[in-house]
Chains A and B, each alone.
Chain A
Amino acid sequence: MAEESVKLLGYWASPFALRVHWALKLKGILYEYIEEELPNKSTLLLRYNPVHKKIPVLVHNNKPLAESLLIIEYIDEVWKQNPLLPEDPYERAKARFWVKFFDEKCASEIMAAFSSKGKEQEKAAIARENLKTLESALQGKPFFGGETIGFLDIAVGWIGIWARIVEEIVDVNLIDAETMPLLTDWSKKFLEVPIIKAFIPPWDKLLEHNKGFHKILTVAST
């Protein structure tokens, strides 16, 4: 078997890089992590992702791939141990449906609450509504993947951290324990899973970083 080389170009504060760390670790894959010193982008990054010039980028045996979700699907296909996506095509379709819903209707609304000065409460209300819809995908199970975590959990799990960051900086309510008890529970349980917990960026550092980010975003929107 030829020597396998796996590298991940990422950024400590990126939830998208986090998704890929989680996937690689769950599979027990050994990889080299390269931290990009954003906003300065390395020549390596620009070479590996000329289209979007963004992290994360997975480089497997010198072949680069960008876009976190398709990277995870790739990882799942190449390394068969501990499958992340369900085997059944219908269940896979449901998982992909919910990731899309989450990205377009939850994450984007949370981002909107974070970045649009004056419309925070309005956007947060929409985000809450959509998070409530997302909760239904749990179908009463502890994780989206069922009894153990799977693709959908690692795709959306970062929201447990970032929603709290946004709640604190912008003073909104997002993951509401009263109206979405199951989602709240899931979020807590997910972030306690040892492999998941090991990669969560330090809270204070992440909060400071996002406070700075918030200033930039809200100045731009006035």
Chain B
Amino acid sequence: MEEVKLHGFWPSPFSHRVIWALKLKGVEYEYIEEDFPNKSELLLKYNPVHKKIPVLVHGGKPIAESLVILEYIEETWPHNPLLPTDAYHKAIARFWIQFGQGKDYFRSFFQESGEEQEKAAKEILEMLKILEEQGLGDKKFFGGDAINLVDIAHGWLPLWFETIQEAVGVKLMEPTTFPRLHAWMLNFVQVDVIKQNLPDRQKLFAHMKNLRDKFVAPTIV
């Protein structure tokens, strides 16, 4: 069996996605914590394009971008499937994996204030409504009775998005306005693999608050 290594960073939801997938597949791997902002020589060698984590290295071959890594894991270790096997349902799953990803409004919500932040908040609410009503629907998990890559892709909403809302001081996801997503979040973090692989909440909040303070600090021109 070829060696599997994961370069990650403890507060990153993106490296957690990969950890969850590897654990669900029972794949043994070595975890390498990157000491940001100092990036290791190895990281720069393995991800010269973006210089970011997570990077999965399998038999010496590096793969970057968490969603690309997830698909790679699914294809390389097909047991305990994390995507539907039927082509159409797999495509639908991919649609929901991608939905709401990498949108500027999340960055805006975290880094900005005032009007820009309000606009971002509105866009996030719209996106979450669609995710809840059309993505999740009446299911327990996006994957049905068990979690799959869609759940993993949105797995940053509990804990990470929660602490971001706290750090920013704006609560967007109320249980009353998003009852199904709220139930999903509670169920998601109870899944053994997830529960055992989450960063410490206090530590994460402190990290987010620190970042938030930097973003909104008045700059001396």
Residues of A within 8 A of B65 (CB): 96-97, 100
Query: Secondary structure at chain B's binding surface: helix, strand, loop or mixed?
Result: helix
Chain B, Cβ-Cβ closest to A133: B49
Interface residues on B, range: 20 to 34
Given the interface pairs A89-B72, A104-B102, A133-B49, the reply to whether A67 lies near B61 with Cβ below 8 Å is no
Given the interface pairs A90-B61, A97-B64, the reply to whether A60 lies near B88 with Cβ below 8 Å is yes
B69 shortest CB reach to chain A, Å: 7
Residue A25 lies at the interface, judged by CB distance under 8 Å to chain B: no
Residue A77 lies at the interface, judged by CB distance under 8 Å to chain B: yes
B68 shortest CB reach to chain A, Å: 5
**In the complex, which residues 80-111 of chain B have their Cβ closer than 8 Å to any Cβ of chain A?**
87-88, 90-92, 94-95, 98-99, 102
Residues of A within 8 A of B92 (CB): 65
For A68-98 the 0/1 string (1 means CB < 8 A from B) is 0011011001100000000001101110110
Total number of A-B contacts with CB less than 8 angstroms?
A: 58
Residue A50 lies at the interface, judged by CB distance under 8 Å to chain B: yes
Query: Secondary structure at chain A's binding surface: helix, strand, loop or mixed?
Result: helix
Give the complex CA separation of A70 and B93 in angstroms: 10
A-B contact pairs, 22 of them (CB 8 A): A51-B130, A51-B134, A65-B91, A65-B92, A65-B95, A67-B95, A73-B94, A74-B87, A77-B90, A89-B76, A90-B58, A90-B63, A92-B71, A93-B68, A93-B71, A94-B63, A96-B71, A97-B63, A97-B64, A97-B65, A100-B65, A133-B49
